Amino acid sequence: MDALYLIATLKPRHDKLVEAKAALDDLITATKAEAGCEVYDLVIGVEGFAGSGEVNLTDWLMIEKWTSRAHWDAHMESEHVRHLGEVKDSFLREPTEFRFYTSI
């Protein structure tokens, strides 16, 4: 069974950054305790060279690694993901884009 790698692109509303971060922090805490979750990190882009200090607040990326697709599927049915689904439209300006990867 191959590990599943996932990059989710989140586009928060510029006037709702604090609310978006708080909701995602709750999701991250609950998710990191799930079986099969190996990596679940929220990152933002740094423009130019690393460490330049210029942060791109437009797109946030959730970098994920799951032991298997079945673990990710179970995660997507969890109560904390359901809750996020109920509130995300209040702080995201577009639907989340998911890109899936596996080892080669």
Mean pLDDT per 10-residue segment, the chain (104 residues): 94 92 96 98 75 68 97 97 95 95 92
pLDDT at 39: 98
> What string of DSSP letters covers 58-76?
EEEEEEEEES-HHHHHHHH
Domains of the chain in sequence order? 4-101 (3.30.70.100)
Query: 5 near 64, Cβ under 8 Å?
Result: yes
Token pair of 77, please? Answer: 């049915």
